[in-house]
Amino acid sequence: MAGLSSSLCVLSLLCVLPLCLCDQSYGGKLNPGFYAHSCPQAGEIVRSVVAQAVARETRMAASLMRLHFHDCFVQGCDGSLLLDSSGRIVSEKSSNPNSKSARGFEVVDQIKAQLEKQCPGTVSCADILTLAARDSSVLTGGPSWMVPLGRRDSRSASLSGSNNNIPAPNNTFQTILSKFNRQGLDVTDLVALSGSHTIGFSRCTSFRQRLYNQSGNGRPDMTLEQSFAANLRQRCPRSGGDQILSVLDKVSPAKFDNSYFKNLMENMGLLNSDQVLFSSNDKSRDLVKKYAEDQGEFFEQFAESMIKMGNISPLTGSSGEIRKNCRKINS
């Protein structure tokens, strides 16, 4: 895995690499230089804490990316996922997509604590999630990009939004695409962002249906490559063992690359929501093939789609607040 020094080397080239989209017009009030004067150390503080966390546990990179995704699909990228239940707030952490699986909150806490020491009341929790997602990509060998900043934090959460807006592992292709479209994202964004499953793990409960009862008829998903399925059954029993983990990318689970798409072409996507990108739609299938053949194309689109996702309904100006503690609203 690349260490912090190599990640700093990559990030120092931000305005040289075309991938980073440095000349892009970000629109709205978000700007990569938002903290240039108010907290110039912000990017380095986030990067340093994330690097330490990923060095301790490679899986944390995928966990932090997932937090950003699950945050942005509910009320926009506003840090609502980070709120604990308190008073009128019912936490999104207890939703079906997040319960017993969302993780990395302690890393966010650590970043926030350091930022509050350096620049009190300045950097939002929503921006922390966005920066941490980018740094997680870089630290595992993936692309970098300029992160538009200036989001503010919500003073509310939406448990129902979390349950309804985030795609589920067993959703159909059309249901998943509809949930992306609802956020202003298209099929290209769907396929590119799904490529983040080139790192990380998934729980047995998220793919058990494919192994034993895909369509409710007591039969497995026959699109799943049979030897791969047999190996998964050894790890994931028909009942029990919900929290047992399997890698999302069987080839290089700790490296951000394009092997995820190659796996889909061999019918070795772990989740149904992965495999349907290749099996259920012509346009998404063509994109899977494109990214499997050209990692550079995937990296470039992934960076562009991450910026696009990070721009979903941000709170700016006087809306929301800058939380002092990411787990609770300011009193």
Is 98 within 8 Å of 206 (Cβ atoms)? Answer: no
Residue of 37, 68, 70, 197 marked catalytic: 70
- What long-range pairs does 271-274 form, CB within 8 A, spacing at least 24? 271/169, 271/197, 271/202, 271/206, 271/207, 271/210, 272/169, 272/170, 272/171, 272/207, 272/209, 272/210, 272/214, 272/221, 273/167, 273/168, 273/169, 273/170, 273/171, 273/176, 273/194, 274/194, 274/197, 274/248
CA dist 52 → 32, 107, 109, 303, 323 (Å): 23, 9, 14, 23, 24
In the chain, the largest separation of any two C-alpha atoms, in whole Å, equals 61
70 has catalytic annotation: yes
CB atoms within 10 A of CB 136: 30
Nearest CA-CA partner of 152 in 77, 251, 235 = 77
Active site residues: 70
